[in-house]
Amino acid sequence: MDATFAALADPTRRAILARLMEGEASVLELAEPFAMSQPAVSKHLKVLENAGLITRRRDAQRRPCRIDVEPLTEVNHWLERYRALWEAKFQRLDVLLEELKDEEQAMKAEGGNEA
């Protein structure tokens, strides 16, 4: 998972993965939207490939890239445990805020009756 997080830390690599969600693409196609050389994009692809986030295959002269979602699935499962924890904390906070709001309304109502 460390390699996955390291690969995802870079916005260019995240953009490449987003593009690959649409389907296979060559290095040239992946380099188009970026103001960088093809070798620079190839370095990003190597990081993604080493993390297991993409696979490349030979197709005559092309080497199309394809996303591999398995490492992302593992990260998602890991994050889901923390999401459940945070959702429980937010639910408790919602209850507390509702109680404070009710108290404030009760105090306003009491103050309005005294006048």
| pLDDT range class, residue 59, cuts 50, 70, 90 | confident
Handedness of CA 12, 77, 64, 21 (dihedral sign): negative
Amino acid found at 72: L
The DSSP letter of residue 34 is: S
Summarize pLDDT for 29-51 with one digit per residue, the tens. 999 999 888 899 999 999 999 99
- Say what the pLDDT of residue 113 is: 62
Residues sharing a CB contact under 8 Å with residue 1, sequence separation 6 or more, in sequence order: 71, 74, 75, 78
Residue 112 pLDDT grade (very low, low, confident, very high; cuts 50, 70, 90): low
81 contacts: CB under 8 Å, gap ≥ 6? none
Q: Is the separation of the CB atoms in 42 and 70 below 8 Å? A: no
DSSP state of 56: E
Mean pLDDT of 16-21: 96
User: Is pLDDT of 115 > 70?
Assistant: no
Q: Which residues pair with 98 in a beta bridge?
A: none
Give the confidence band of 54 by pLDDT, cuts at 50, 70, 90.
Answer: very high
pTM as predicted: 0.72
By percentage, how much of the chain surpasses pLDDT 70?
97
DSSP state, 59?
B
